[in-house]
A = this chain, B = another copy of it.
Amino acid sequence: MLKGSTQLVAIVGTPIAQVKSPENFNAWFEREQQDLAMIAMDVRAPDLGHCIALMRGWNNLRGCVVTVPYKQAFAAQIDGLSARSAALRAVNVVRREPDGRLVGDMVDGFGFLNAARQHRFRAAGRQALVVGAGGVGGAIAHALCEAGIARLALMDTDAARQDSLAALLAQAFPAVELLRGCASLADFDLVVNATPVGMGGTGELPLPRELLDSLRSDALAADVVTSPPVTPFLELARARGCRIQTGAEMARAQLEFLGGFIGVMPPVDPAAVLAAELPAG
């Protein structure tokens, strides 16, 4: 039960009704008997600047999770960024310091890696395709590179966005072989949909059907879309015999990184996630 003394964490985006983070966070706060609550804030784009400015002066706000379409706008306006969120020019989590400064990080990629490890996928030495070079696609691609992927293909209908992410990753990770687009999925151990395609029961696929016919049955197929829980892409992959990873799994797996960064859950070190990915010794 929310009280006058309750400290708040927000999740900010538009639309917002579909997000699952409030249920995940609030179940955790309740279980731990913390006087904390996550609220969902649906903010109109023209007023986002007021929202960010207010957060500096909102004394009982501990921080926020940032979702579509504001990951880039928050990164451009807050007061401090982690190295990876500065490189990606996007944040998905913001902590309010006691003096009101807002600092951000991008942990979508760590949630993704932790969820994928549950499906026996480890990045080191493998080959992957990430479809969608926006905020979450960039974060997943960046984390795969940090975790030692050997070869990474990027694909986005916005060519400029695809090329800009590829250039950024090429500079930061010279050891990774980067491809722009692909003609077949036959080489990939992992194929990720990081676009909104398939959301809301449209039945759409994020890749052409003929390309999907080359998806290997021993690959992991992953989606960031949370509704429906199993997207048309994941249904097709499952029918081919692939392991599948849902958007909800990724959302749950990054809970500890979001809460740890904001300071409302025990601290976690993203570097430990990467260490778990790499071969021992």
Which chain A residues have a beta carbon within 8 Å of chain B's beta carbons? 1-6, 8, 11, 14, 16-23, 26-27, 30, 37-44, 46-48, 50-51, 53-54, 56-61, 100
A8 to B40 Cα, complex, angstroms: 9
Q: Given A2-B22, A22-B4, A23-B3, answer yes or no on A59-B44 (Cβ-Cβ < 8 Å).
A: yes
Residues of B within 8 A of A50 (CB): 50-51, 53-54, 57
Separation of A21 and B4 alpha carbons in the complex (Å): 8
How far is A135 from B41 in the complex, measured between Cα atoms in Å?
29
Complex Cα distance, B22 from A40, in Å, reads 17
- Asked whether A59 and B14 contact (CB < 8 A) given A2-B26, A39-B37, A47-B54, the answer is yes
Q: Is A23 a contact of B1 with CB atoms below 8 Å?
A: yes
B16 touches A3 (CB 8 A): no
The answer to whether residues A16 and B54 also contact, given A2-B39, A4-B22, A26-B1 and a CB cut-off of 8 A, is no
Instruction: Kindly state the separation between the CA atoms of A17 and B5 in the bound complex, as whole angstroms.
Output: 4
Looking at chain A's contact residues, the main secondary structure is mixed
Q: Are B44 and A18 in contact (CB under 8 A)?
A: no
A54 and B57 contact, Cβ closer than 8 Å, known pairs A1-B23, A1-B26, A26-B1: no
Q: Are B58 and A42 in contact (CB under 8 A)?
A: yes
Whether the Cβ atoms of B58 and A8 lie closer than 8 Å is no
Which of chain B's residues has its CB closest to A6's CB? Answer: B40
Considering the complex, give the chain B residue whose CB is closest to the CB of A44. Answer: B57
Give the docked Cα–Cα distance between A13 and B184 (Å): 59
Most buried by B among A4, A5, A6, A59: A4
Contacting pair A58 B41 (CB below 8 A) = yes
Q: How far is the CB of A52 from chain B (nearest CB, A)?
A: 9
Minimal beta-carbon separation of A1 from chain B (angstroms) = 6
CB distance from A96 to the nearest CB of B (A): 12
Let me know if A4 and B26 touch, CB within 8 A: no
Tell me the smallest distance from the CB of A262 to a CB of chain B, in Å.
Answer: 16
Given the complex, which residues of B lie within 8 Å of A47, measured CB to CB? 53-54, 56-58
A217 to chain B, nearest CB (A): 35
> Can you list 13 pairs linking A and B with CB atoms under 8 Å apart?
A1-B23, A1-B26, A2-B26, A6-B22, A8-B39, A14-B59, A39-B39, A43-B54, A47-B53, A47-B56, A50-B53, A50-B54, A51-B58
